[in-house]
Amino acid sequence: MNLGLVASWKTVTLTAIANGVNGCATAAGCWQINGALGAAKAAALTQDINLLYTMPANWMVHGYRVKPLAACTGTTTAVTYFGTTVRPTDFLNAGYDIQAAPADSNIESGAPHAEATSTIAATWNARITTTVQNVDQLVAGCSVRYSGFVSVVPTD
């Protein structure tokens, strides 16, 4: 019998960095995830970024928060979605504006979300979407914090 794990907040910070920073070797720059080098910024209007936090099988997100830490400028629009690599918009179904200046008033939060399977683990995912200019035009320093209150659902 699995009695589940104690629920706790998990947080991942995604930050745009410039070429030559923290091992980034692409002219357009890269994404840094909790201080570690992640993917190169995409020359596309949409980019999915694996946030490197994997929830175990039979997980549940009791709530989430998305907050820009530094405004993401350099494009006409920039929004983010928050979900898993299987379903990039699991938690945040509407794009959240990440060009707004950081403030307590621009935090997105949401209701619980449960995964109905006891066999599939899920890795957190951020989807960045822009219009006109590609994602790789977002300036270095653009930073967003994704948090989820996570536990494992008890099983028999």
pLDDT in tens, 67-109: 899 999 999 999 999 988 888 888 888 788 999 877 766 666 6
Containing domain of residue 19, as a range?
8-152
Would residue 86 count as lying in a domain? yes
Asked if residues 29 and 17 have their Cβ atoms less than 8 Å apart, the reply is yes
Mean pLDDT of 3-15: 83
Would residue 133 count as lying in a domain? yes
Residues 6+ apart with CB under 8 A from 28: 19, 40, 41, 43, 136, 137
Residues 6+ apart with CB under 8 A from 152: 2, 4, 5, 56, 57, 58, 59, 60
Asked if residues 124 and 53 have their Cβ atoms less than 8 Å apart, the reply is yes
Would residue 66 count as lying in a domain? yes
**Residue type (1 letter), 133:** Q
Q: What's the number of domains the chain is made of?
A: 1
Mean pLDDT of 20-47: 96
Q: What percent of the chain has pLDDT over 90?
A: 51
Would residue 144 count as lying in a domain? yes
Would residue 16 count as lying in a domain? yes
Would residue 112 count as lying in a domain? yes
HEC string for 84-118: ECCCCCCCEEEEEECCCCCCCCCCEEECCEECCCC
Residue 1, pLDDT score: 43
Would residue 2 count as lying in a domain? no
Whole-number average pLDDT of the chain: 86
Residue 54, pLDDT score: 87
| Joined tokens for residue 85 | 């690599």
- Residue 119: pLDDT band (50, 70, 90) is low
pTM, two decimal places? 0.88
pLDDT at 50 over 90: yes
Q: What percent of the chain has pLDDT over 70?
A: 84
Would residue 3 count as lying in a domain? no
Residue 104, pLDDT score: 63
pLDDT in tens, 55-76: 877 788 888 888 899 999 999 9
Supply the CATH number for residue 71's domain: 2.60.120
